[in-house]
Amino acid sequence: MARLILFNKPYGVLSQFTDTAGAEARATLSDHIAIPGVYPAGRLDRDSEGLLLLTDDGRLQARIADPRFKLAKTYCVQVEGEPDEAALAALREGVRLNDGMTLPADARRIAEPAGLWPRDPPVRFRKTVPDCWIELAIREGRNRQVRRMTAAVGHPTLRLVRWRIGDWTLDGLAPGEWRELRV
């Protein structure tokens, strides 16, 4: 049986076990997970939070990370401004980015997710610029795709939390916590 680790990656943590990028030490997975032989199935940017899956099974890792399998990845996204139906429809139809059209996404406005932890550092607050939350599910994984998609429809991302990958969620996991499953 394969090992599968569900990890709630905190803001500022790299999606790798070592950091070779210079003199400034940055937080990595090894600061939170001490299980030999598991590797991330996909990535989350340093400035993104939420569900990261790790496994010791190469086939499972490929099924999770490879866009050919179209495993939905669902994000709760705090965006600048208040997207109207036209902006959400554009996300649903696919957005033109500099590397081509995205696949259609599931997109809808939501309330701030219940049980969402405070971010450290906090998201900047501006009295004159409203913000809101959307739920966005994509089935591909281009570099910084969600951030580029929301910016393309006029609503830059302020906070990005991956909540679900396929049937796995981060429900019940605080930032920095993980849970192991056998699959």
Q: Catalytic amino acids? A: 45
Question: Which residue do the tokens 């076990």 mark?
Answer: 17
- 41 close to 54: Cβ distance less than 8 angstroms: yes
Give the C-alpha distances (Å, rounded to integers) separating 124 from 19, 47, 120, 131, 134: 27, 14, 11, 11, 18
Give the C-alpha distances (Å, rounded to integers) separating 125 from 82, 122, 171: 15, 8, 27
Give the C-alpha distances (Å, rounded to integers) separating 45 from 40, 89, 165: 12, 26, 16
- 46 close to 16: Cβ distance less than 8 angstroms: no
- 51 close to 4: Cβ distance less than 8 angstroms: no
- 11 close to 162: Cβ distance less than 8 angstroms: no
Nearest-angstrom CA–CA distance, 78 and 51: 16
